[in-house]
A = this chain, B = another copy of it.
């Protein structure tokens, strides 16, 4: 793990479960159905964690950020690590 970034180890199966609420926008397979939303499948887990934490802290504004503020508000660091592990595991 790069010294620049330390995270809780993510659990893919737990992440799959927690991702059910994300499927509507990001797709069950991690490919967004709506062009303004990002594909998440195969994305770098460390980047996904960094993004989710920035949404949780409302540091990310602009675009569709406000939608993600609500989604990320109550996620724990472990939730975030699990979701990141799940999506980065998808092909």
Q: List residues of A whose CB falls within 8 A of some B CB.
A: 2, 4-5, 32, 34-39, 42-47, 50-51, 53-54, 57, 59-65
Partner of A63, one of B36, B39, B43, B53: B53
Q: How far is the CA of A64 from the CA of B5 in the complex (A)?
A: 11
- In the assembled complex, the CB of A90 is this many whole angstroms from the nearest CB of chain B, namely 12
On whether the beta carbons of A45 and B35 are closer than 8 Å, the reply is yes
Asked if A47 and B59 make an inter-chain contact with CB atoms under 8 angstroms apart, the answer reads: no
List 18 other contacts, CB 8 Å, given A36-B46, A38-B43.
Answer: A2-B34, A5-B35, A32-B47, A35-B45, A35-B46, A35-B47, A36-B47, A36-B50, A38-B44, A39-B47, A50-B63, A50-B64, A51-B63, A53-B63, A54-B62, A54-B63, A59-B63, A60-B61
